[in-house]
Amino acid sequence: MNNLRRISPICKFSTTPEPSTTNPTNPLVQKALTPKTFTNASQLARHLSKNVLAHAPGRFVVLQKPYGVSCVGQVQANGGIFGNSVHDERKTERWAGTIREKPAEQIGVTISDCIQDLRKLLREPQLSFCTGLKRYLSGAIVLPCNDKDTNVLKECIRRMSADVEPPFMYNALAITVGRPPKNNGLVTGFATFRNVGKHKEYIFEERKVKKRQKSGKFAVEGHMSYKVLETKNGVSLVDFSVDKFARHLPRLMLTQMCAPILGDTIYWRRLAEVDGAPELISAGNRGHKIWIPRTLPEALELPNRSLLTSLPIYCHVYNTIFEDVGGHEAHGLVAAAKPPAHFLSMLEVLGLLPAYKEFKNKKEKPADTLETPVARSSGDFVF
């Protein structure tokens, strides 16, 4: 796996001839590379209010979180809902990239910034932020409209994030560089920080976490089920379900299978080109030629360097399951959202759109006709 003698140290980037321009001329490619952005809280609030996925008055509002927008924009006190997941609290911010110390222009507008405006626009005076999705994800988020339902959501998340068997809480689609070795499977392991040279990086180990590692917060355990929907042009469309996104777990798991998410700058660099094929190398290694599918630079009209530094991360959470949220008519809540325009455009550019449409049509059939239906009660809210 780590036979570095065969890895060329001459250049980090592929020797494939690069396009002559860094600005794609194909409008579809331009759309695929350009997620929608927001400059202020009022603009984002108006956008969110016009894209309400569902509204149970007085209880929940389901909104579509755009890609690239943080929910809070900073490290939360005491680790937020889940508590601190890093052993040494004093090092938490330094290890996480010190989000709190970034200039405001780097953080950008957040979902939390919009709450006041959303309360007025949606006529929900007690609307609050409870839990969301990572900045690099798009998908549905659920905002509670009262303190009681805030606690209901928190308890549901704590319970479901501890599940060790499917169905898991988060269901997502990712465009990956390369393809996992199997068409489908279940991955279990843990993520932790390790010293690699003079710095620390997230490391994934595909084995059961030891009790001391878990209780001492040296590691975070996670589980993923996955299915490859299609592979074309050196990339794949992967449907996966996970119990949590903490510590980059899904990103690490897919990288461990030699299929990092397209645009994931950090972990794509762990894929080296060895004898013309991708091979996973140890974290911290430098000087190798990073594996890039031969047809990708031409398809995206980008030089290799831009491919490895400038792409959005193509990962979308298409539904999130909240079990047992209670209510007179419902016991569960499924918050669902279609992929954003730039994600769909990238699927079209790379020839993966037919596979997505087939997948979408299957998911839209009644639950009892699906091969692997999501566990739901007859009274679920399906948002």
258-274 tens-digit pLDDT: 999 999 999 999 999 99
Q: How far is CA 199 from CA 142, 280, 284, in A?
A: 36, 20, 8
pTM of the entire structure?
Answer: 0.83
Q: What is the DSSP letter of 157?
A: H
Q: Is the pLDDT of residue 81 over 70?
A: no
Q: Could you tell me what percent of the chain has a pLDDT over 70?
A: 77
Q: What is the pLDDT of residue 196?
A: 82
Which of 232 and 5 is assigned the larger pLDDT?
232
Average pLDDT over residues 118-143: 95
Q: What is the pLDDT of residue 216?
A: 43
Helix (H) or strand (E) holding 120: helix 115-122
Burial class (CB in 10 A: 0-12, 13-18, 19+), 303: buried
Q: Is the pLDDT of residue 118 over 60?
A: yes
Of the pLDDT bands very low, low, confident and very high (cuts 50, 70, 90), residue 326 is low
Q: What is the pLDDT of residue 107?
A: 74
Please report the sign of the dihedral spanned by the C-alpha atoms of residue 197, residue 203, residue 207, residue 213.
positive
Extract the tokens encoding 108: 């950008």
Q: What is the pLDDT of residue 282?
A: 87
Which of 266 and 1 is assigned the larger pLDDT?
266
Q: What is the pLDDT of residue 331?
A: 62
Q: Side chain identity at 254, as an amino acid letter?
A: L
Average pLDDT over residues 248-253: 94
Q: Is the pLDDT of residue 83 over 80?
A: no
Q: Is the pLDDT of residue 371 over 80?
A: no
Whole-number average pLDDT of the chain: 82
- Pair 51, 64: CB distance under 8 Å: yes
Average pLDDT over residues 54-79: 84
Q: What is the pLDDT of residue 172?
A: 98
- Residues 6 or more apart whose Cβ sits within 8 Å of residue 316: 67, 137, 138, 139, 172, 173, 174, 337, 339, 340, 343
The count of other CB atoms within 10 Å of the CB of residue 137 is 22
Domains of the chain: 4-28+169-307 (3.30.2350), 41-73+108-160+320-382 (no CATH)
Average pLDDT over residues 4-12: 36
Which of 189 and 8 is assigned the larger pLDDT?
189
The count of other CB atoms within 10 Å of the CB of residue 11 is 12
- Pair 271, 279: CB distance under 8 Å: yes
Of 12, 293, 26, 315, residue with least CA distance to 173: 315
Q: What is the pLDDT of residue 217?
A: 54
